[in-house]
């Protein structure tokens, strides 16, 4: 399964002009799993999309280091998903 996801990630990255992007597939899937189980299944793709968007925005607008911006966005999403809801 991982091999298929690696090929898909490489193909999609190239299509989106992101060739050479280092994607931590396991981390993305883990975050999607947290969101799916803690919120609802449809929260998984929304969460990963918003994390990527937030990281890209921070890097573009704030000049943040891409890896650090990504880590902050992942951590924020994971913590929010794990918070008890009222």
**5-64 tens-digit pLDDT:** 999 999 999 999 998 899 999 999 999 999 999 999 999 999 999 999 999 999 999 898
**Residue 2 belongs to a domain:** no
**Residue 43 belongs to a domain:** yes
**Residue 56 belongs to a domain:** yes
CA distances from 2 to 5, 7, 8, 34 (A): 5, 9, 10, 19
* Whole-number Å distance between alpha carbons of 83 and 55: 21
Q: 10 Å Cβ neighbour count for 31?
A: 21
**Residue 46 belongs to a domain:** yes
- Closest by CA to 26, choosing from 52, 5, 44, is 5
Range of the domain at 38: 23-82
Domains held by the chain: number:
1
pLDDT > 80? residue 77: yes
Q: Give the pLDDT of residue 20.
A: 86
Q: Is 44 in contact with 35 (CB distance < 8 Å)? A: yes
Full-model pTM = 0.88
**Residue 60 belongs to a domain:** yes
Q: Give the pLDDT of residue 86.
A: 39
**Residue 5 belongs to a domain:** no
């Amino acid at each position: 399964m991982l091999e298929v996801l690696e090929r898909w990630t490489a193909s999609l990255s190239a299509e989106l002009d992101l060739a050479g992007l280092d994607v931590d597939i396991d981390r993305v899937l883990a975050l999607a799993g947290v969101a799916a189980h803690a919120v609802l299944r449809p929260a998984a793709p929304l969460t990963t999309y918003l994390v990527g968007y937030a990281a890209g925005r921070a890097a573009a607008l704030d000049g943040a280091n891409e890896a650090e911006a990504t880590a902050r966005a992942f951590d924020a999403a994971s913590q929010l998903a794990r918070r008890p809801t009222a």
